[in-house]
Amino acid sequence: MLNSIKNRLILLYTCSTGLILTAVIIFVAVITNEQLQRSRMESFRNNYITINQNVHMSQEISNLWMAEMETSNHLIIHIEDNGTPFLFKGSWQTPTKREVLVDKIKELALKDNINTNIRPVSLNEVQSKVYEIRGNKNDRYLGEVFIVPIDRGFRSVAALQYISGNEASVLEQRLLLVFLDLLGITALFFVSRFMVSKSLKPVEESRRRQTEFIAAASHELKSPWQ
């Protein structure tokens, strides 16, 4: 009877504290994921601002500058003058062909009424929202499109940043959190068993003495003349 109560208490303490620990682990995982998303977005926005400023300030865009930007930041920079693409073919090999990715983001922009093939009606820059797109090999990118009126027409820019590179580290981090959760629950089990055993020790001692008393009294009742 006492062992059954002991096992139930151990199970109760382990499950209750384990649930709290799991909730904390999940909370940490969610916060970490949100921080990663913010970090990715911030990185992309910073690169986008750099590209935008250079396009505004320079009539001629250097292929060397584009190559350095792409290589350093896992970017795809596609620029067209009056609908004619630059001869720059890119500085690194993307999992999905660059042309496919550029076409995808231009299609998304077109759905938002941003056509990179025609000059904007306004004399101001036309800018899309930030899109997240997937390539043919499940590779992921953040991207944005903007169109700038220039003296001889207009210039459109599609900028994408590869964000799948951190997936392996994210998976490792999640597996580490799961391992820590299981390790913590295991530790809580042993702590619970120790605490329950210590708490029930007076009860066990009282029960032992009671058993010894009943046994001694029973023996005396059976042998009254000895």
Span 96-110, pLDDT tens digits: 999 999 999 999 999
pLDDT at 203: 59
Q: Are strands 126-127 and 131-134 parallel, antiparallel or unpaired?
A: unpaired
**What pLDDT is stored for residue 108 in this prediction?**
95
Element (H, E) at 167: helix 167-222
**Of 162, 177, 199, which residue is a domain's last?**
162
Report if residue 51 sits inside a domain.
yes
Tell me, yes or no, whether 63 lies in a domain.
no
Residue 213 clears pLDDT 70, i.e. is over it: no
Regarding whether 145 and 85 lie in a shared domain, the answer is yes
Tell me the three state secondary structure of residue 159.
strand
Task: Supply the Cα-derived Rg of the chain in whole angstroms.
Answer: 34
Q: Report if residue 173 sits inside a domain.
A: yes
Residues 148, 177, single domain; the answer is no
Q: Is the pLDDT of residue 12 over 90?
A: no
What pLDDT shows up at residue 10?
A: 77
Is it the case that residue 30 has pLDDT exceeding 90? no
- pLDDT for position 122: 73
Q: Does 222 map to a domain? A: no
Quick one: what percent of the chain has pLDDT higher than 70? Answer: 84
> What residue numbers bound the domain in which 125 lies?
70-162
Both 82 and 155 in a single domain? yes
**Does any domain span residue 32?**
yes
Quick check: is 220 in a domain?
no
Residue 132 forms beta bridges with which residues? 142
User: Residues 78, 119: one domain?
Assistant: yes
Asked if the model's pLDDT at residue 179 lies above 90, the reply is: no
Q: Residue 55's closest CA among 161, 154, 160?
A: 154
- Predicted confidence band of residue 66 (pLDDT cuts 50, 70, 90): very high
Tokens of residue 108, six digits: 């998304």
Residue 144 near residue 129 (C-beta atoms within 8 A) = yes
Instruction: Report the alpha-carbon distance of residue 75 to residue 39 in Å, rounded.
Output: 16
Long-range contacts of 47-55 (CB under 8 A, 24+ apart): 47/73, 47/75, 47/159, 47/161, 48/144, 48/159, 51/75, 51/77, 51/157, 51/159, 52/146, 52/157, 55/79, 55/148, 55/155, 55/157
Considering its fold, how many domains does the chain have in total? 2
pLDDT at 144: 96
Same domain, 156 and 104: yes
Looking at the structure, tell me whether residues 75 and 53 fall in a common domain: no
pLDDT for res 56: 83
> Could you tell me the CA-to-CA distances from 173 to 8, 167, 226 in Å, in that order?
34, 10, 75
**Tens digits of per-residue pLDDT, 45-64?**
999 999 999 988 877 888 99
